[in-house]
Amino acid sequence: MEKYSAFKLLKHSFSHHENWKRVWRSVSPKKSYDVVVVGGGGHGLATAYYLAKNHGIKNIAVLEKGFLGGGNTARNTTIIRSNYLWDEAAQLYELSLKLWEGLSRDLNYNVMFSQRGVLNLGHSLQDMRDIERRVNANRLNGIDGHVVFPDDIKKIAPLINISKDVRYPILGASYQPRGGTARHDAVAWGYARAADALGVDILQHTPVTGINCSEGKIKSVQTNYGEIFAKKVACVVAGNSGVLASMAGFKLPIESRPLQALVSEPLKPCLDTVVMSNAVHGYVSQSNKGDLVIGAGVDSYNGYGQRGSFHIIEHTLQAICELFPSFSRVQMNRQWGGVVDTTPDACPIIGLTPIKNLYMNCGWGTGGFKATPGSGYVFADTVANGTPHKLAAPFSIERFYTGALIDEHGAAGVAH
């Protein structure tokens, strides 16, 4: 891999940047692989990278039906935080956050992880109880964060409205300074480049159309290149997980829903942190390009259309104008939808499946982007060893039979 640096940038400027090495190779698939990762989004690419880097498996292919990072990796609002309520989720997201903190250097690719802090606002006494509970739990889990009150919030986000004379006044917030945002596309590209350098074959425009098993064991996957044999198959396909599971003959406790987001036109810096509110139902940050990046809750119905309903956008912008009254004069530039794979407890499913050597990592719902490194890390470990990683174990599909759900609706909420 050609190392990126300011020096290299200078060096290449003398040759008009014509001679940079390709970010990843253009390859044809081999007949068989040790591991086939289905899904070339952030999670899939991270899985391949950690399989190669941490577990020494080199014969890996990543199959992506469209272009790399073209699913939810390309469509999310890039928020990163680890202030989840339950120990199981908090520790998984905290592993992820720690990996984020070194990710640009680990991948030698600037993913622009910007630790500008995340505010989760509270607007009722119960919100504040929940915030206190979550912040206390986070602290004891070794995760940063504290409770802040309206005057502190105003200092962090000067345009926010902390007046008591509004419908749902801001009573306080949790603040996680280590949280922030990253450049979403760069995460996929950075992982792809690093995985490729470790020998991983990346195949774009290669949809998996069938999963072949024999005697309850995975054998191969069917693709436009024909049958590709695999000792192990790891599925990381978010909203399409149900479709893959049904190919393999089992069901998942997952429903795929549209989740919408929007951006404003680029503006001069006006918001240096991430602000989220469950009760007033919206969240906003400002990208490095200057766009306000805004989102809210999931559309109520199932759908794979990458489109949602307009009234969701109306409610979201009502919430944003309520929190930031001067944003009312800003203009929406673009609006889009993704397909999120939601589970009954707003937590992912990571682990084994009824088919031997077929592994699933899905159900990240609205929380997937921030989990990318951690998800790839524990999933790679799970796939390599054939048993769930310690942090992944609570997220097995068994919990839907035993009742050991990890209900993160409060912390996930609108929140991403």
Partner 1 sequence: MLLIYCPYCKQYRDEEEFSYAGEAHIKRPQNPLAISDESWGNYLFFRKNPSDVHHEMWNHSSGCRQFFNVARDMITYEIKETYCISESPKIEKYKK
Partner 2 sequence: MSGCNINRLEPLNVAGESTVINFKFNSKKYRGYKGDTLASALIANKVDVVGRSFKFSRPRGIVGHWSEEPNAIVQVGSGAGTVPNLKATQVELYEGLEAKSVNGWPTVNFDFMSLVGVFEKLMPPGFYYKTFMYPGRFWMLYEKYIRKAAGLGKVPVDSDPDYYDKENHHCDILVVGSGPSGMIAALEAGLSGADVIIADDQSEMGGSLLYSNHSLEGKSGFNWAKLLENKISSLKNVTVINRCTVFGYYDHNFLTMIERCNDHISVTSKSGPRQKLHRVRAKRVILATGAFERPLVFANNDIPGVMIASSVSAYINRYKVLPGASLVLCTNNDYAYKTAIDWKSEGNNRITIVDTRRAVKSELINQAKALGIKIIYGHGVTEAKGKKRVQAALISPLSANGSELIGGSTEIVCDVIATSGGWSAAVHLNSQTGVKPVWNRNIISFTPGKTNETQVSIGACNGSFNLIDCIQEGSEAGALMSKNLGFGKGKPKEKIALDKSENEHPTQPIFCIPHQKPSIKGLKQFVDQQLDVTAGSIELAAKEGFESVEHVKRYTALGFGTDQGKLGNVNGMAILANALNKSIEETGTTMFRPAYTPTTFGAIAGRDVKVLFDPIRYTPMHEWHKKHTKEFENVGQWRRPWYFPKVSEGMEQAVARECLAVRNKVGILDASTLGKIDVKGKDALEFLNRVYTNDFTSLTPGRCRYGLMLKEDGMIFDDGVCACIDKNHYLIHTTTGGAANVLSWLEMWKQTEWPELEVFLTSVTDVWATATISGPESRKVISKICRDIDFSDDNFKFMHLKHGTVAGIEARIFRISFTGELSFEINVPSRYGLYIWSKLIDAGDEFGITPYGTEAMHVLRAEKGFIIVGQDTDGSMSPSDMGLSWIVKEGKKFSFLGERSLHRSDLLRSDRKQFVGLLSNDSKTHVPEGSQIVTSKKKKFPMKMEGHVTSSYAHGSLGYPIALAVVENGHQRLGETVFSPQADGSFVDLKIVSPVFYDSKGERSNV
The correct pick among 97, 166, 246, 274 for binding partner 2 (CB under 8 A) is 166
Q: Are 45 and 188 in contact (CB under 8 A)?
A: yes
Rule CB under 8 A: is residue 399 a binding residue for partner 2?
yes
Q: Are 116 and 175 in contact (CB under 8 A)?
A: no
Angle at 157 between CA 328 and CA 97, to 5 degrees: 115
DSSP assignment of 65-83 equals: SSSTT-SHHHHS--EE---
Q: Are 40 and 69 in contact (CB under 8 A)?
A: yes
The correct pick among 23, 162, 198, 247 for binding partner 2 (CB under 8 A) is 23
Helix, strand or coil for residue 172?
Answer: strand
Torsion of CA 184, 190, 193, 194, to 10 degrees: -140
Alpha carbons 227 and 206: distance in angstroms, whole number: 12
Nearest CB to partner 2, comparing residues 30 and 289: 289
Task: Classify residue 381 by burial, with Cβ atoms within 10 Å: 0-12, 13-18, 19+.
Answer: buried
Nearest CB to partner 2, comparing residues 66 and 207: 66
The correct pick among 88, 130, 255, 322 for binding partner 1 (CB under 8 A) is 255
159 binds, among partner 2, partner 1, none (CB under 5 to 8 A by kind): partner 2
At closest approach, how far in Å is the CB of 301 from partner 1?
4
Alpha carbons 74 and 334: distance in angstroms, whole number: 14
The correct pick among 12, 53, 98, 154 for binding partner 2 (CB under 8 A) is 12
Rule CB under 8 A: is residue 402 a binding residue for partner 1?
yes
Rule CB under 8 A: is residue 22 a binding residue for partner 2?
yes
Q: How many CA atoms lie within 13 A of 115 on its CB side?
A: 14
300 binds, among partner 2, partner 1, none (CB under 5 to 8 A by kind): partner 1
At closest approach, how far in Å is the CB of 380 from partner 1?
26
Contacts with partner 1, 256-275, as mask; x by CB under 8 A: x-------------------
Crossing angle of helices 184-197/368-385, nearest 10°?
Answer: 20
At closest approach, how far in Å is the CB of 29 from partner 1?
25
- Sole window of 12-20, 34-42, 208-216, 381-389 interacting with partner 2 (rule: CB under 8 A): 12-20
- Sole window of 10-18, 236-244, 367-375, 378-386 interacting with partner 2 (rule: CB under 8 A): 10-18
Rule CB under 8 A: is residue 240 a binding residue for partner 1?
yes
Alpha carbons 371 and 78: distance in angstroms, whole number: 11
What tokens were used for 200? 């991983």
- Sole window of 20-28, 33-41, 51-59, 373-381 interacting with partner 2 (rule: CB under 8 A): 20-28
The correct pick among 3, 16, 164, 251 for binding partner 1 (CB under 8 A) is 251
Rule CB under 8 A: is residue 299 a binding residue for partner 2?
no
Nearest CB to partner 2, comparing residues 17 and 31: 17
Q: Are 366 and 72 in contact (CB under 8 A)?
A: no
130 binds, among partner 1, partner 2, none (CB under 5 to 8 A by kind): partner 2
Nearest CB to partner 1, comparing residues 183 and 257: 257
| Amino acid, res. 413 | G
> Bridge partners of 174?
120, 147
Nearest CB to partner 1, comparing residues 145 and 338: 338
Interface residues for partner 1 in 337-396 (CB under 8 A)?
Answer: 344
- Under rule CB under 8 A, how many of the chain's residues touch partner 1? 24
Interface residues for partner 1 in 276-315 (CB under 8 A)?
Answer: 300-305, 307, 309-311
Phi, psi (deg, nearest 5) at residue 386: 75, 5
> Bridge partners of 35?
60, 232
177 binds, among partner 1, partner 2, none (CB under 5 to 8 A by kind): none
Closest CA to 93 of 279, 348, 284, 285: 348
> What are the angstrom distances between the C-alpha of 377 and each of 40, 108, 294, 299, 391?
15, 17, 29, 30, 10
Interface residues for partner 2 in 52-111 (CB under 8 A)?
Answer: 66-68, 70, 74, 87, 91, 101-102, 104-105, 108-111
Beta strand 358-362 with 349-352 is: antiparallel
Helix, strand or coil for residue 409?
Answer: helix
242 binds, among partner 1, partner 2, none (CB under 5 to 8 A by kind): partner 1
270 binds, among partner 2, partner 1, none (CB under 5 to 8 A by kind): partner 2
Q: Which residues bind partner 1 (CB under 8 A)?
A: 240, 242-243, 246, 251-256, 300-305, 307, 309-311, 344, 400-402
